[in-house]
């Protein structure tokens, strides 16, 4: 959401200006100024999210700083790449993005302001960075981790609206929807879903069906061996062996150097169905964890793998 509450209690920065104005002019003039500000700020409000954007505001955004790899990918997907002047140290896609030493985990307001941004896009308000940016009049667009595909679509559309690329953003979302529908149809139907274990790291943290990635797997005819209210539980090796998953997804090859060979060499894992049938898939951890435009690529690669399992059985 864009962190700009002009239509609620009023934008803090603008409120300070108005209070100073009121002290020097008649009350009637102050009321008229306040009314004009309220109408201008709320005329194009997004009633669904309680935020406001306008074409005038979008046209003023010439310099964007992104502190989120997912947001960076969204910005470039909707055509706002030319407005991006700096991205965080984790934003490595697209390769043309102006990568810097800025951190989204430990953001520093002064370092961010060094790039003179009109808009800062981020996923989390770490170090109270939002308040710091607002105090100097910089717009902030917060895009927390999506929980569903619909969240991803909504965020892409929001990025397009705020940056002045609404039409292109709509085209991106429409294309994503079409491709995902085709991908889902490409997966052979099974009476019983394939069971899987998605390994986040080598200490056996995983995902359930209720997480974002779990929902994607479910659309492709898979179900997690992990259950419970915690969407990211830590399993034991004994539990995984007992559940005997048909598929193993490795999201820890990049971080932890885990390979199918290392999985097969774990005590008791050599007899797992996924190991015996060679149904261990090494994921691109970046694509699997950035829930933006490239989630289509993730779904396509998993669907192709799952379809291959079906033809073997």
pLDDT-derived band at 305 (thresholds 50, 70, 90) equals: very high
What separation in angstroms does the CA of 105 have from each of 71, 89, 121, 128, 288?
14, 10, 13, 11, 19
Instruction: Please list, in sequence order, all residues whose beta carbon lies within 8 angstroms of the beta carbon of residue 204, skipping any fewer than 6 positions away.
Output: 234, 235, 236, 237, 240
The structural domains of the chain, ordered by start, are 64-177 (3.40.50.1980), 189-307 (3.40.50.1980)
Angstrom distance (rounded) from CA 196 to CA 220: 12
CA atoms within 13 A on the CB side of 45: 17
pLDDT higher than 70, residue 261: yes
Residue of 59, 89, 92, 56 lying closest to 73 (CA atoms):
92
Phi, psi of 87 (to 5 degrees): -130, 165
Angle at 138 between CA 20 and CA 84, to 5 degrees: 155
Q: What is the pLDDT of residues 78-109, one digit of tens each?
A: 999 999 999 999 999 999 999 999 999 999 99
pLDDT-derived band at 309 (thresholds 50, 70, 90) equals: confident
Angstrom distance (rounded) from CA 64 to CA 53: 16
> What is residue 218's DSSP assignment?
H
Q: What is the pLDDT of residues 160-196, one digit of tens each?
A: 999 999 999 999 999 999 999 999 999 988 889 999 9
What separation in angstroms does the CA of 22 have from each of 5, 14, 15, 136?
21, 12, 10, 21
pLDDT-derived band at 36 (thresholds 50, 70, 90) equals: very low
Q: What is the pLDDT of residues 192-233, one digit of tens each?
A: 999 999 999 999 999 999 999 999 999 999 999 999 889 999
Cβ contact 207:200 at 8 Å:
yes
Cβ contact 82:96 at 8 Å:
no
Give CB contacts under 8 A, 24+ apart, made by 129-138.
129/67, 130/3, 133/109, 134/3, 134/12, 134/13, 135/12, 135/13, 136/109, 137/13, 138/112, 138/113
């Amino acid at each position: 959401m864009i962190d700009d509450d002009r239509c609620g209690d009023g934008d803090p920065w603008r409120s300070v200006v108005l209070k100073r104005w009121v002290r020097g002019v008649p009350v009637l003039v102050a009321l008229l100024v306040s009314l004009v500000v309220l109408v201008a700020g709320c005329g194009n409000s997004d009633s669904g999210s309680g935020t406001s954007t306008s074409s005038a505001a979008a046209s003023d955004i010439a310099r964007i700083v992104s502190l989120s790899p997912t947001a960076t990918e969204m910005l470039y997907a909707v055509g706002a790449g030319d407005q991006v002047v700096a991205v965080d140290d984790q934003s490595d896609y697209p390769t043309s993005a102006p990568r810097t030493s800025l951190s989204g985990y430990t953001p520093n307001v002064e370092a961010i302001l060094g790039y003179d941004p009109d808009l800062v896009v981020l996923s989390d308000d770490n170090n109270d960075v939002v308040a710091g940016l607002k105090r100097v009049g910089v717009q902030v667009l917060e895009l927390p981790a999506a929980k569903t595909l619909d969240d991803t679509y909504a965020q892409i559309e929001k990025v397009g609206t705020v940056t002045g690329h609404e039409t292109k953003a709509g085209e991106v979302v429409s294309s994503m929807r079409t491709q995902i529908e085709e991908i889902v149809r490409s997966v052979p139907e099974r009476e019983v879903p394939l069971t899987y274990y998605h390994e986040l790291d080598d200490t056996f943290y995983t995902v359930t069906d209720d997480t974002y990635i779990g929902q994607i797997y479910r659309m492709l005819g898979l179900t997690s061996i992990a259950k419970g209210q915690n969407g990211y539980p830590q399993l034991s090796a004994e539990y995984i062996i007992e559940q005997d998953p048909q598929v193993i997804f490795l999201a820890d090859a990049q971080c932890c150097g885990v390979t199918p060979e290392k999985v097969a060499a774990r005590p008791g894992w050599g007899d797992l169905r996924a190991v015996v049938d060679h149904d261990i898939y090494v994921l691109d951890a970046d694509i699997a964890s950035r829930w933006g435009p490239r989630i289509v690529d993730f779904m396509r690669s998993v669907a192709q793998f799952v379809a291959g399992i079906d033809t073997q059985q």
